[in-house]
Amino acid sequence: MNPRRAPRLAVVPEALAVLGVAAVAAEVLLALVGGLPAVATGAAVLVAAVLLAARYIDGADALDSDYRRKVRLVGSREPTLRYWDAAIEDARESLSGYELHLRPLLQRLYAVRLAERHGVSLHTEPARAAAIVGTELWPWIDPSRHRLTPEYSREPDPSLRQPVPDRVITALVDRLENL
């Protein structure tokens, strides 16, 4: 199944049969009560209703008149360049700086890029997202991995004070641009 296309509901044959019987019964009733002009008017209304229903069903996946709930890929406003600069500097100083500032920004951009270009959700389809991003960079943006900050560990971890290598940050940004 194509992930970009919404699944269609199956048309129940019994429901179509009931609608057909109701339409024929309405036409017979119109013929008995109103004669030929009523039958012609009823037939025109039925044909118009069938055409509108067919058009709606056929085009439901292309245009839905905004009846569906809006999908929000990004839940907040864009960070400023000053914030990006500070996030990169924090990542260059320590792993906890990366986890606290740069990782959420990169996860957000990866989520948007994967959704726009590949139709893949970073959070609900992590296996497909990992295959697209690459196994060497996936651990750095994996949303299922808990943060490695001191708040989540019982005792201070000296590895959290180690800076993230510049080659990793560069590789993450380069891969994001190439997605």
Q: List pLDDT tens digits, range 76-102.
A: 566 667 778 888 888 888 888 888 888
Examine the domain organization and report whether 87 and 171 are in the same domain: yes
Flag whether 151 is in a domain. Answer: yes
Count of helix runs (H) and strand runs (E) in the chain: 8, 0
Cβ 110 vs Cβ 176: under 8 Å: yes
Examine the domain organization and report whether 129 and 163 are in the same domain: yes
For the chain, helix, strand, coil in percent to 5 are 65, 0, 35
Q: Is 43 exposed, middle or buried (0-12, 13-18, 19+ CB in 10 A)?
A: middle
Flag whether 74 is in a domain. Answer: no
User: DSSP secondary-structure letter at 158?
Assistant: G
Examine the domain organization and report whether 131 and 87 are in the same domain: yes
Flag whether 172 is in a domain. Answer: yes
CA 124 vs CA 106, 143, 178: distances in Å? 17, 10, 22
Going by C-alpha positions, the residue among 116, 119, 124 that lies closest to residue 143 is 124
Residue 121 lies in domain: 81-178
pLDDT at 148: 60
Examine the domain organization and report whether 30 and 112 are in the same domain: no
Examine the domain organization and report whether 53 and 96 are in the same domain: no
Rg (CA), the chain: 28
Examine the domain organization and report whether 52 and 97 are in the same domain: no
Examine the domain organization and report whether 38 and 124 are in the same domain: no
How many domains in the chain? 2
Examine the domain organization and report whether 28 and 103 are in the same domain: no
Flag whether 130 is in a domain. Answer: yes
Examine the domain organization and report whether 55 and 113 are in the same domain: no
Give yes or no for residue 32 having a pLDDT over 60: yes
Residue 155's pLDDT band (cuts 50, 70, 90):
very low
Flag whether 69 is in a domain. Answer: no
Give yes or no for residue 154 having a pLDDT over 70: no
Examine the domain organization and report whether 93 and 20 are in the same domain: no
Q: Is 156 exposed, middle or buried (0-12, 13-18, 19+ CB in 10 A)?
A: exposed
Higher-confidence residue of 125 and 63: namely: 125
Going by C-alpha positions, the residue among 129, 133, 143, 126 that lies closest to residue 176 is 133
**N-terminal to C-terminal alpha carbon distance within the chain:** 23
Examine the domain organization and report whether 48 and 131 are in the same domain: no
Examine the domain organization and report whether 40 and 117 are in the same domain: no
Flag whether 67 is in a domain. Answer: no
